[in-house]
Structure 1
Amino acid sequence: MEVRDLHAWPSTPAEAEAIQDRLRPMLELDVPGPANPRTVAGLDVSYSGDGTGTRLAAAVVVLNATTLQVVEESVAVGTATFPYVPGLFAFRELPTLLDALRALKSTPDLLVCDGFGVAHPRRFGLACHLGVLTGVPTIGVGKTAFIGTYEQPGRHRGDTSPLLHDGQVIGRVLRTRDGVKPVFVSVGHRTDLETACRNVLGLTPRYRLPETTRKADRLSRDALTG
C-alpha cells in the first residue's frame, strides 16, 4: 500500500503541532464516504509492559466488509521515540503503523482507527493524520471521549447523540449494542459522519467494538508476546 512522505518526524511538541497545522488544510471533510466498502482495515497498537513501555507493535487487519472475514494482515514492531503528550499521541504510533500499512499488498476502501479524527483539540487526530498520508477514507472509533460534551444516546443499537466542542459537532456518540456503553465516532478524512456511523454499525454485529478493532488489537498483542 502506498503511503506519502509529507513530513519528517518531529522531536518536540512544538514541531509536532506545526505539522498538524500544516496538514490540517489537506483534510477532505463532509464529503460522501464509502457507503458500500468492499474491504475495511482496522488499525491498533499495543505497548509492552502492560502499556507502559516504549516497545510497540502496530497491526493492520483487512476484512471483507460483508463477511467480516480476514483478507490480509500486517504487523510491525518498533519503538516509540516521541514523548507521551496529550493531543500528539499519533506521533508515537504513526512511524510503526505506517510500516505495517506499507507492507499491505492491497489498499482497503476504509481505514478504522482505534482513536479519533476531528474529535481532537487541534481537529487533527490519528485518523486525520492517517487519512492525509494515505489518501484513503478514514474514521476514528474511540472507546471514550477525548474532548467534548454529549448527552447519552438512547439505549438501543443505532441510537446516537452529537459530540460537541466549542459549539461544533465533532463526532457522534453511537450505541452499537442495546444497553451497552457507546463508542465515539469521528471523521478523519474523505467521509461524512453519517456514513461513518453506518459503517461502524456494519462492523459491530455482535460486540460493542468494531471487528476491525478487535482483530487488530489481538494481532498487535500477539506480536508482542509471540
Structure 2
Amino acid sequence: MSTKSPSMVMLSRDFKHIARNPTSVFNAVLMPVVMLFMFVYLLGDAFSVGVDYVDYATPGMLLLAVCYGLGATATAVNNDMTKGIINRFKVMDVPRGAVLNGKVVASVLTNLVAIAAVIGVAFALGFSPSASLADWLGVIGLVVLLGVALGWLTVALGMAAKSVETAGLAAVPLIMLPFFSSAIVPADKMGPGVRHFAEYQPFTPIIETLRGLLNGAPSSSDAIQAVAWCVAIALVGYFWASSTFTKRA
C-alpha cells in the first residue's frame, strides 16, 4: 500500500501526464523565450525606456512565462472533468483538495522551469540585475505567489468550461493581459485609453515589483498592490474551483 499522501499521489499523476505530453511544457518554456529574444534582440533598439532594454523587458517576460503554461492546465483540468475521472476519484474517496492541489502545484513547477529558461536567455542577452540575495528571494516568492494565484484561477476556468476547446480559450485573456501592461513598454508611453487600463490592471504592479526587485530598488507601494492582487486572484480562483468541483463532480 502506498504511503504517499493523496495530494502527492495526484501530483505524481499530473507529472506522468505531463511526461506523456511534453509539447505542453515545451510550448510553455519556448514561447516566453522566443518573445524575450524577439523583443530584446530584434526590436529592443526601437524602444526608449531609459535603461538597457533587456533589463526592462526581463521582468515582464517572467510574468509571461507564468501565463503561457496556463492553457495546458485549463485543458488538463477540463479533460478530467468531462471524461468522468473526477467522479472515479470521488468513489475512491480521494479528497477534493488533493485533486485540485495537484493541478496547481504541477502548474507552478512548470512555471519555474519556464522562468529558469527565461532568466538564462536574458543573461545570455546581457541582462545585468542589481538585485541582492534578499531581492532574488523576493522575486522567487512573488513569482511563486503569482503562479499559485493564476493556477487556482486557471483550474477554476478549466472546471467551469463545457469542453476541452473552450477551456483552452478561457486562458487566452490571461495570456494576452501582460501585453496591455508595462511588460513591453512603460504605461506612460501608451495612448490615453490603453495607458489608463495598463496602469490599473493587476499585472502592472506585479511587473513593476519584479522590476524594482531585480534593479535592487523595490517600491513598497507596488509590492503591496502586487501581493494584494495575487491574494485576491488566488482566493477567487480557489473558492470558484471548489464550488464548481462540488457542483459538477
Greater relative CO, 1 or 2 (CA 8 Å, sep 6+)? 2
TM-score normalised by the shorter chain: which range applies?
A: under 0.3
Q: TM-score if structure 2 supplies the norm length?
A: 0.24
Pair member with larger Rg: 2
